[in-house]
Amino acid sequence: MKTRGTGEPVALQALKQNKANIGSPILFDPSDICSAFVGLKGVRVLHYQRIGPVAEIAIEKIVSEVRCPMCGFIAHAKERPLVTYIDLPFGGTPTRIKWKKHRMVCINLSCAKRSWTLGDHRIAASHSLLTTRAAKWATKQVGGGRCVSEVAKELPQAQQPATTN
């Protein structure tokens, strides 16, 4: 096997330096691999659970400092509601995303903003039952001529996005 410098095979050196990789960096950490499979930007995977035929993946957004959009004061998370969305099947398994959201409160007592929930349209639009990618997929299917009931059968049973603490 061809080696250079460190004595490692050239192909392995190139792999570690990401030179042979056309796509994204190669991931070695299991959490990073899991997040990459889930495929939502800026989120951390909290847990996975299989409930009958449906897989549930709990996520949260990776949040650093949040400021009040009205007054600019620092905000704190006062609640972490869990909201469920229907996602695209993963590996042939019907899947739901359980998004542990951040309900924020402004620390400025004279601010009128009070509280708000952090959202991310890349994950799901407000008041939607579907993740954004599932909604796009369903729209494309129906736009391509499939009937709504047929498309709905391919997604896990709709569950009202109930908010729990």
Binding residues for Zn ion (CB under 5 A): 68, 70-71, 73, 106, 108, 111, 113
| Closest separation in Å from C-beta 72 to Zn ion | 7
| Closest separation in Å from C-beta 71 to Zn ion | 3
| HSE (side-chain half, CA atoms, 13 Å) at 58 | 12
Specify the residue, 111 or 125, whose C-beta has the smaller distance to Zn ion. 111
State the DSSP string of 61-94. Answer: E-----B-TTT--BEEEEE--EEEEEEEEETTEE
CA distances from 162 to 8, 81, 126 (A): 54, 9, 13
What is the bridge-based pairing of β-strands 54-61 and 75-79?
unpaired
Q: Please, are residues 16 and 22 in contact by the beta-carbon 8 Å criterion? A: no
Of 100, 122, 156, nearest to 40 by C-alpha is 122
| Closest separation in Å from C-beta 78 to Zn ion | 13
Specify the residue, 70 or 148, whose C-beta has the smaller distance to Zn ion. 70
| Closest separation in Å from C-beta 60 to Zn ion | 23
Specify the residue, 113 or 122, whose C-beta has the smaller distance to Zn ion. 113
Specify the residue, 9 or 72, whose C-beta has the smaller distance to Zn ion. 72
- Residue located via tokens 């996975």: 48
Specify the residue, 17 or 110, whose C-beta has the smaller distance to Zn ion. 110
| Closest separation in Å from C-beta 113 to Zn ion | 4
